[in-house]
Each structure stands twice: as C-alpha cells, then as structure tokens.
Amino acid sequence: MFIEFCPCFSQFHDCFLSASFLPEGQGFVSEDEYLEISDIKRDQSGEYECSALNDVAAPDVRKVKITVNYPPYISKAKNTGVSVGQKGILSCEASAVPTAEFQWFKEDTRLATGLDGMRIENKGRISTLTFFNVSEKDYGNYTCVATNKLGNTNASITLYGHGLCINYLRIFSRE
C-alpha cells in the first residue's frame, strides 16, 4: 500500500520527510513524500503524521487517518441454556470494517423479528436473537451469519433446555 502523505512538500528541496504512527508511537520512516506499508494489518489503522524537515524553517506537519477494511470474524458466540417458559437470548459478536450485517437461521430457514415470539436486534458489532417465552420447539442449533462487502463468516449457537434432566427425574421418581 502506498500512502501519499505530503504531496505539497515536493516543492521543498533538501528536506527530510518522516512519518510516524501516532497512537502507539511506532515509527515508519520515509525519505520522500510517500510511505509504503507492506502487508498492512487491521491493528495498523489510525492516524499517521508526515513531517517535512529542513534547516531553514520549522517542520511542516500533515496528518491522515488510515482505515484498514477487513471481512467479518465472529469473536463471541456462546451456547445458552434456558428453561421452558423463560426468556432466552442468543448473542453473536463480529468484528469487521465496514461493520457487518447479521442474519439468523434455524436449520435452513432465515429468521425474522416477530416470528413465533422472537426478536432480532442488531447494534453495531452485536446481534441478539431473543425468545420471549422459550418452548421445546425453540431448542436446537442456530446459525449467526455476519457479512460485509469483503466476505462473510458464521457461527453455530445452540439453545438448549436448562434443567430438563431434573424435571424428567422427578417425573420418573413419582411413579
């Protein structure tokens, strides 16, 4: 990746141009008006500064913000146990630039807010699938899909019955 920080500095002769990564102070140095960052990583996003230095005047400084785009990856997805009749929430968190859009599936069926007492809510990096009154038919595997223009990824999340074994033991012990 070539970044042209200081095109207006090209009229200076015998000047030294330097660029530094400001947030962590990690330095990159270039001796012309371009800075090349090979194999840029997402953690190298941030504000960069270019300084033109010579022995005649004070340094001239320009700043540019670099955003590194990358496809989604799911950083948090956890199986959840909920008893019948309780509220259940499945959550999926994805990191991506640009921000990911989410979809939820059960088996091959895409889910939508309002179907069978559930709600899907997307806020930035997090998508939640809420069941307001969990029933036996709600138990199973769900897929969270995160997508942006660079790609997509998915995670399987299970909603399972919490305390079902205890209830079955009580039923069998009464007979």
In angstroms, the CA 81 to CA 161 distance is 5
Residue 85 confidence (pLDDT): 94
Distances (CA, A) of 22 to 34, 36, 42, 46, 71: 17, 16, 15, 8, 25
Looking only at the bridges linking them, the beta strands covering 46-53 and 16-21 are antiparallel
**DSSP state, 53?**
E
Reported pTM: 0.72
Give the confidence band of 57 by pLDDT, cuts at 50, 70, 90.
confident
Contact 138, 104 (CB under 8 A): no
State the average pLDDT for the chain: 79
Percent of the chain with pLDDT over 90: 50
pLDDT: which is higher, 144 or 165: 144
Residue 30 confidence (pLDDT): 63
- As a whole number of Å, the end-to-end CA separation of the chain is 74
pLDDT tens, 60-105?
777 888 899 999 999 999 999 999 999 999 999 999 999 999 999 9
Residue 65 confidence (pLDDT): 84
Kindly tell me if the per-residue pLDDT of 54 is higher than 80: no
Show the tokens assigned to 114.
């309002």
pLDDT tens, 155-175?
999 999 976 544 444 444 334
Q: Is 140 left (phi over 0), alpha (psi -120 to 50) or beta?
A: left
Contact 112, 120 (CB under 8 A): yes
Residue 157 confidence (pLDDT): 97
Dihedral sign for Cα 83, 87, 93, 99, please: positive
